[in-house]
Structure 1
């Protein structure tokens, strides 16, 4: 199985390509999504897959452009069904690519609802193989300020450059 080891869960959202790579190993393993502290029900459905190209102006008046893929999960339990196999999920998405152009590098957004509560948006962490199943943790997709996010990333790079292993020997962090 190509799913990522338990100790290497990525906190950032993943791309379609990373998810496909992780699912291409053991196609018979159940695929279990987790959100709001619980797993999806065994009968969940993929009700829609859509791709979009977006153009925007952020709050700092910077033009933004990105591609996103949305996978809608209907969290229901039906009869004696089990969690969908990783191979079936892979095949469904592959079928979508016959009709809709999906960019493998596009970040994934999951839209999840139980059919009663409103749909909510989630980011996905890297898949993890645990107890014979592939687990994907979904976290609520927060709002963000892209100029602030860029500034924080730049500050983090500066700190790493100054206080990284090589810089620490130079007296930079003394």
Structure 2
């Protein structure tokens, strides 16, 4: 989901509570706050010497220890107000993918992407997911993907001087 789609979703459903499911069946607590919005630029080189460049919007979620008993979730209206205020100070890139940075005592800090969302009468639930790491230079490195697993086409495909790693 990109930033524009997220903002539009919030705008369309301002009357709903905004919930985040960070893993199947586990939700960010109602005591969460939006503590930071980051406009990130990634300027990367992969192991096959390929370059890439893209932008992301990272929204940091934090659970306040002083509000553990809180039961009412932030509304989409309030979240939209926070994001609009930030946007006036540091404009967000609308076509940048939006991710949510989160952790708690049982879940490591991660930047999670929006895998899906659902709604009911009262709530908008963003279903977040971890993006697994991957080699972007498989062809350069001689890695052949099969249906069941990824294997290297030769044992020394990432040896010094091979053009990879």
Q: TM-score, normalised by structure 2?
A: 0.73
3-state SS of 1:73 partner: strand
Question: Which runs of no fewer than 5 residues in structure 1 stay unpaired?
Answer: 1-13, 150-174
Can you give the 5+ residue segments of structure 2 that lack an aligned partner in the other structure? Answer: 140-165
Indicate the residue corresponding to 2:49 in structure 1.
61
Corresponding residue for residue 59 of structure 2: 71
Q: Deviations over 1:95-146 (max 9, x none)?
A: 1111112101101121102268642221112432124210100111221223
* 1:11 aligned residue: none
User: What secondary structure, in the 3-state scheme, does the structure 2 residue paired with 1:80 have?
Assistant: coil
In structure 2, which of residues 111, 114, 121 is the aligned counterpart of residue 124 of structure 1? Answer: 114
Identify which of 91, 100, 103 aligns with 2:90. 100
Higher strand share goes to which structure? 2
RMSD: 2.1
Instruction: Return the structure number with greater helix share.
Output: 1
In structure 1, distance between residues paired with 2:138 and 2:18: 35
State the 4+ residue runs in structure 1 displaced beyond 6 angstroms.
none
1:5-16 equivalence runs, <5 A? 14-16=1-3
Report the secondary structure of 1:24's partner residue: helix
